[in-house]
Amino acid sequence: MILRFSQWKQQDYTARLATTPEALEAFLQPLSQAGVDVFHCSTRRFWEPEFEGASLNLAGWTKKLTGKPTITVGSVGLSGEFLASFKGESAQAAGIDDLLGRLDAGEFDLVAVGRALLVDPAWARKIRLGQLDELQPFKPEALATLS
């Protein structure tokens, strides 16, 4: 059983279920004990630390606190310089070196990709082959299409 929870809202980027590791643990423990197998941790930018004082993102904290596998998500494959695409702006394509470093470090176990794949169905193949120049930039019109 996979449970997805979110630490932001499109209408309010600062919306939080938990503002401290202690509050996050209090939220997660009953769910973990009830049998959740995997936590899918929604953040807007996977590379941002969830709490001050540690580089772990939300999926990293969730794995640390529950011991369960986690899925990270949030602007994978999109450039941090164009971050307003939730509000209708474009986003440049980007590589995934930071993501791979965090995966190798065991910070989280799985990665969900949304907009980068939506705009470029060949995203995974291009990433695997290192064809970063051929990645398509995200455009808001892509949200209205089925590739």
Ligand X SMILES: Cc1cc2nc3c(=O)[nH]c(=O)nc-3n(C[C@H](O)[C@H](O)[C@H](O)COP(=O)(O)O)c2cc1C
What count of other Cβ atoms lies within 10 Å of the Cβ of residue 22?
Answer: 11
Q: Which stretch binds ligand X (CB under 6 A): 1-9, 25-33, 48-56, 92-100?
A: 1-9
Count the site residues for ligand X by CB under 6 A: 16
- Name the amino acid, one letter, at 65: L
Smallest separation, CB 112 to ligand X (Å): 6
Q: Cβ 102 to ligand X, closest distance in Å?
A: 15
Q: Which of 8, 39, 61, 123 binds ligand X (CB under 6 A)?
A: 8
CB of 116 to ligand X, least distance (A): 6
Binding mask 88-127 for ligand X (x = CB under 6 A): ------------------------xxxxx-----------
HEC per residue, the chain: CEEEEECCECCECCCCCCCCHHHHHHHHHHHHHCCCCEEEEECCCCCCCCCCCCCCCHHHHHHHHHCCCEEEECCCCECCCCCCHHHCCCECECCCHHHHHHHHCCCCCEEECCHHHHHCCCHHHHHHHCCHHHCCCECHHHHHCCC
Q: Which is nearer to ligand X, 6 or 21 (CB)?
A: 6
Which of residues 28, 59, 76, 135 is near ligand X by CB under 6 A?
76
* Closer by beta carbon to ligand X, 66 or else 75: 75
**Footprint of ligand X (CB under 6 A):** 6, 8-10, 42, 73-76, 86, 112-116, 143
